[in-house]
Copies of this chain bind each other. A is one copy, B any other.
Amino acid sequence: MVSKKQTTIQDIAKALNITASTVSRAMNDHPKISQATKNMVIEKAREMQYQPNAMASNLRKGKANTVGMIVPRINRHFFSNIINGVESILNPAGYNLIICQSEERVSKEIENVKTLISNRVSGILMSLSIETQDVKHLQKVMNHRIPLVLFDRVSNKLPISCVENDDELGAYDMTIHLIDQGYTNFMWMGGPRNVFIYKNRYCGYKKALESRKLKPAQMQIFEGHPTLQVALDFMRNYLEHNKAPDVVFATSDYMAMGAIQACQEKGLKIPDDIAVAGYANEPFSELISPKLTTVEQYSEEIGKAAARLLLEEMLSENDEVIPRKTILRPRLIVRESTVKSKQE
């Protein structure tokens, strides 16, 4: 049976000779409604194929039980795992997620923010695009009193709660591991250092070198978009004209992969001729040969932590929330690509 118009609580009320309020209360399991009425209403609702109109209810309540989430790209394991972590906390708490992609562009990010504000989401979780410098749009979110939590790509220009990896530590640990393996001539291959995480990783790298009396300034640095192709092109060209370093530390597994391919094309054996380390523990990193030494970031945990912070802010009676920071410790994963075979 298909009716042109959707069933409303009015229709149910009419059919049952009661009022809309009673129906509404029954559907929401209000304590003061008799069990008999509830059963009756629920039965009728099913019969009439009633589906509550969330727009109306949200409008009335002044907010939707919806959380907006803005990520640079959804098709990166790192981010999609974070999304999973977020859902695992927010769904049980009764929230739905609207996911937006900024595609690493500020303009799109600003659009996304507007959409989310317009939809009166209960809170926003976001990771900034690579381009983002100015944070006026974040200020706007705060002006609208919408709880906001940043994760991974954060900003310290505003007092906002955030969840970060200790990228400095991750890179530090990796560098120490590499030094301990006996490598001394490093190449740094990083993403743009205006992005916090890449800057922090670089700092950790530098600190580790300095702590062991090595001079980072004398070593090769390459900075570019963190993709396989960019790294491959650079490395091919580099090896054409220069002597290979002992070890390449790339701040992305994709860059590491590019470096590996360039080296293998040149006939260099990894790790015996040159070692390569990555960052992020992408799924492919343990499937390739040699298996890639990298850093695990516990992306799902990041999502959970961010969701928990947001949840607290959304549920807080208090209007002014003190921004909090959660810093997660990444874990070094040593695999084949940086450990010389015994016989050497």
In this complex, what residue of B is CB-closest to A121? B54
Contact call A87/B101, Cβ cutoff below 8 A: yes
Known contacts A6-B144, A119-B54; A81 and B75 CB within 8 A of each other: yes
Contact call A75/B64, Cβ cutoff below 8 A: no
A225 on interface, CB distance cutoff 8 Å: no
A114 on interface, CB distance cutoff 8 Å: yes
Copies of this chain present in the complex amount to 2
Contact call B98/A143, Cβ cutoff below 8 A: no
A238 on interface, CB distance cutoff 8 Å: no
Q: How far is the CB of A8 from chain B (nearest CB, A)?
A: 12
Size range of the chain A interface in the assembly:
35 or more
A97 on interface, CB distance cutoff 8 Å: yes
Known contacts A114-B51, A115-B96; A143 and B2 CB within 8 A of each other: yes
A289 on interface, CB distance cutoff 8 Å: yes
Determine the chain B residues whose CB is within 8 A of the CB of A145 once the complex forms. Answer: 2, 4
Q: How far is the CB of A81 from chain B (nearest CB, A)?
A: 6
Interface centre among A4, A54, A118, A288 (most CB of B within 10 A): A54
Q: How far is the CB of A159 from chain B (nearest CB, A)?
A: 14
When chains A and B are docked, how far (Å) is the Cα of A191 from the Cα of B6? 40
A30 on interface, CB distance cutoff 8 Å: no
A93 on interface, CB distance cutoff 8 Å: no
When chains A and B are docked, how far (Å) is the Cα of A4 from the Cα of B143? 9
Contact among B118, B140, B287 for A288, CB-based, below 8 A: B287
Interface centre among A2, A75, A284, A289 (most CB of B within 10 A): A75
Known contacts A98-B96, A288-B288; A118 and B83 CB within 8 A of each other: no
In this complex, what residue of B is CB-closest to A82? B75
Interface string of A58-76 (1 = CB under 8 A from B): 1100001000000000110
Interface string of A272-291 (1 = CB under 8 A from B): 00000000000110011100
Interface string of A36-80 (1 = CB under 8 A from B): 000000000000010111111011000010000000001101001
Contact among B6, B96, B101, B118 for A53, CB-based, below 8 A: B118
When chains A and B are docked, how far (Å) is the Cα of A56 from the Cα of B56? 8
Contact among B81, B101, B117, B284 for A51, CB-based, below 8 A: B117
Contact among B4, B55, B83, B99 for A64, CB-based, below 8 A: B55
A257 on interface, CB distance cutoff 8 Å: yes
When chains A and B are docked, how far (Å) is the Cα of A257 from the Cα of B53? 47
| 8 interchain pairs, CB-CB under 8 A | A2-B143, A51-B114, A54-B118, A75-B80, A75-B83, A96-B100, A96-B119, A283-B284
- Using A87-B101, A287-B288, A289-B289 as known contacts, list a sample of 20 further A-B pairs with CB atoms less than 8 Å apart, ordered by residue number in A: A2-B143, A49-B144, A53-B118, A53-B120, A54-B115, A54-B118, A55-B55, A55-B64, A59-B59, A74-B83, A74-B84, A75-B77, A80-B80, A96-B98, A97-B99, A98-B98, A98-B99, A284-B284, A284-B288, A288-B288
